[in-house]
């Protein structure tokens, strides 16, 4: 039997035995090297990730790598507001077609002062006495209060339009009242300072553009529900044009409003803001400055379709005429007879515009001491009937708005319905109004 360590000779050669120890040592070294490699390559157990660790699922090697999600698209930039149109590039616009044969008995209503129920009650009262038209303020600062430019709260005017339409009443809107921001004033947006609301937006082209924006926005919303739009109120009065009346400034306001309105709707009808009393001199001066300032004035009808005036006669009856009530003032003659509106119409005729209608936007009497001497309610009732009978007899007069209807905002001496809904003799006299 051979030794367990002996092996036959490898290959040929003489027979003999190699030493056993070196071969065993070599085998041992190889085994150690292999074992070390296995220890290094084989990973050890992963540490416990803990209960809060989310295990990542194994990825299927046959699936393609998922691409990273695409970034969300950026929102489009806000569009830049379009600049206002250049006034010199607008017009000329044809004269508005008006039905001058119609005469409207008109009362004023301010929906901002009334609840929905009170508004309904007021219009029911007006309809009860055969009123055919309602005049309401579209007051810029109030519609825009606490908001950005060209942002408005239309709710009060919308309610008026709906309620009037339901009753078949026509509506006239008077645009007035500058927001504080137009002049750089800051206030709470609820009660504007006096120096803001009646400070007209005419200091520069930017202010006129803001005014034009407002006129455009009102016309766009209400053109199909409004008989006409009246631009401003008593621009010849220091109470409503600060710091003092200026026909040139009013001409610029009237032009900007008229052209912007007609650019929205060429058929819209624009009335000039009613003058305080029959201010002949102011109207003559207004025509003069329009000719001097604006070559397009005549082609655009001097920027109004209807002429507005408030022919107050103090405490004198509407049929009474006295030359003692004609006085000379800053711009010329003022006729404080009710019938002085005929002299205002004569100015229109001299300017070749005698065919334009005239709107008597305010007339009335106070029953207590105000800027006019008082009359009692029975006398006022008689004057109301007389005024409507006289005015409707002139074919160019298209309406008379009695001042005032309801009681609010300090107007009690003029109102014909008191704060509790009581009806005065003057209100009842509306039932017997006779118009031609």
Query: Which pLDDT score, from 0 to 100, does residue 90 have?
Result: 83
Q: Comparing 4 with 296, which gets the higher pLDDT?
A: 296
Query: Which pLDDT score, from 0 to 100, does residue 65 have?
Result: 57
Which tokens hold the place of 270? Answer: 């624009």
Neighbours of 48 (CB within 10 A): 7
Query: Which pLDDT score, from 0 to 100, does residue 11 have?
Result: 38
Q: Please tell me the distance from the alpha carbon of residue 34 to that of residue 68, in angstroms, as a whole number.
A: 44
pLDDT digits (tens, 9 = 90+) for 344-377: 999 999 999 999 999 999 999 999 999 999 999 9
Q: Record the pTM.
A: 0.81
Q: Please tell me the distance from the alpha carbon of residue 33 to that of residue 250, in angstroms, as a whole number.
A: 108
Which tokens hold the place of 386? Answer: 């007389």
Query: Which pLDDT score, from 0 to 100, does residue 56 have?
Result: 47
Query: Which pLDDT score, from 0 to 100, does residue 410 have?
Result: 84
At 74, the pLDDT band (50, 70, 90 cuts) reads confident
Q: Please tell me the distance from the alpha carbon of residue 318 to that of residue 384, in angstroms, as a whole number.
A: 9
The yes-or-no verdict on residue 33 having pLDDT over 80 is no
Q: Which of 63-72, 145-154, 233-242, 295-304 has the lowest mean pLDDT?
A: 63-72
The yes-or-no verdict on residue 304 having pLDDT over 80 is yes
Q: What is the mean pLDDT of residues 67-81?
A: 69
Q: Please tell me the distance from the alpha carbon of residue 341 to that of residue 320, in angstroms, as a whole number.
A: 13
Query: Which pLDDT score, from 0 to 100, does residue 281 have?
Result: 98
pLDDT digits (tens, 9 = 90+) for 98-127: 887 899 999 999 999 999 999 999 999 999
- Residue 245 near residue 282, CB atoms below 8 Å: yes
Chain-wide mean pLDDT for the chain?
A: 85
Hey, is 373 helix, strand or coil?
coil
pLDDT digits (tens, 9 = 90+) for 156-183: 999 999 999 999 999 999 999 999 999 8
In terms of phi and psi (left: phi > 0; alpha: psi -120 to 50; beta: otherwise), the region of 409 is left
Sheet holding 270-272, edge to edge: 270-272, 228-231, 170-176, 133-139, 104-108, 397-402, 358-363, 307-310, 275-276
């Amino acid at each position: 039997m051979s030794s367990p360590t002996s092996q036959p000779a490898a290959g040929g050669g003489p027979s003999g035995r190699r030493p056993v120890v070196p071969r065993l040592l070599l085998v041992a070294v190889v085994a150690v090297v292999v074992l070390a490699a296995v220890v290094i390559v084989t990973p050890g157990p992963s540490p416990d990730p803990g209960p809060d660790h989310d295990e990542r699922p194994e990825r299927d090697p046959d699936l393609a790598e998922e691409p990273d999600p695409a970034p969300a698209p950026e929102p489009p930039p806000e569009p830049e507001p379009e600049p206002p149109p250049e006034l010199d590039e607008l017009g000329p616009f044809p004269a508005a077609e008006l039905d001058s044969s119609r005469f409207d008995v008109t009362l004023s209503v301010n929906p901002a002062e009334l609840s929905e129920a009170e508004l309904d009650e007021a219009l029911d009262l007006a309809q009860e006495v055969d009123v055919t038209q309602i005049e309401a303020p579209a007051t810029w600062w109030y519609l825009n209060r606490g908001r950005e430019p060209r942002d408005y709260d239309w709710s009060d005017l919308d309610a008026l339009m709906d309620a009037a339409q339901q009753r078949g009443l026509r509506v006239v809107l008077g645009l007035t009242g500058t927001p504080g921001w137009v002049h750089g004033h800051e206030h709470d947006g609820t009660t504007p300072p006096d120096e803001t609301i009646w400070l007209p937006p005419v200091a520069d082209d930017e202010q006129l553009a803001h005014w034009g924006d407002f006129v455009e926005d009102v016309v766009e919303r209400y053109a199909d529900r409004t008989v006409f739009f009246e631009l401003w109120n008593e621009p010849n009065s220091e109470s409503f044009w600060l710091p003092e009346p200026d026909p040139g400034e009013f001409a610029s306001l009237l032009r900007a409003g008229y052209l912007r309105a007609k650019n929205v709707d060429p058929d819209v009808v624009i009335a000039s803001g009613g003058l305080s009393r029959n201010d002949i001199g102011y109207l003559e001066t207004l025509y003069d400055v329009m000719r001097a300032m604006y070559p397009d004035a005549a082609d655009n009808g001097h920027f109004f379709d209807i002429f507005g005036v408030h022919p107050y006669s103090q405490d004198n009856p509407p049929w009474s005429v006295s030359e003692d009530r004609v006085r000379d003032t800053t711009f010329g003659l003022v006729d404080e007879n009710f019938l002085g509106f005929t002299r205002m119409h004569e100015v229109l005729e001299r300017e070749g515009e005698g065919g334009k209608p005239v709107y008597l936007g305010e007339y009335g009497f106070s029953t207590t001491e105000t800027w006019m001497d008082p009359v009692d309610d029975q006398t006022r009732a008689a004057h109301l009937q007389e005024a409507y009978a006289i005015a409707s007899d002139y074919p160019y007069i298209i309406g008379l708005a009695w001042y005032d209807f309801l009681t609010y905002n300090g107007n009690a001496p003029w109102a014909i319905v008191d704060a509790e809904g009581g009806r005065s003799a003057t209100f009842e006299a509306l039932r017997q109004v006779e118009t031609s």
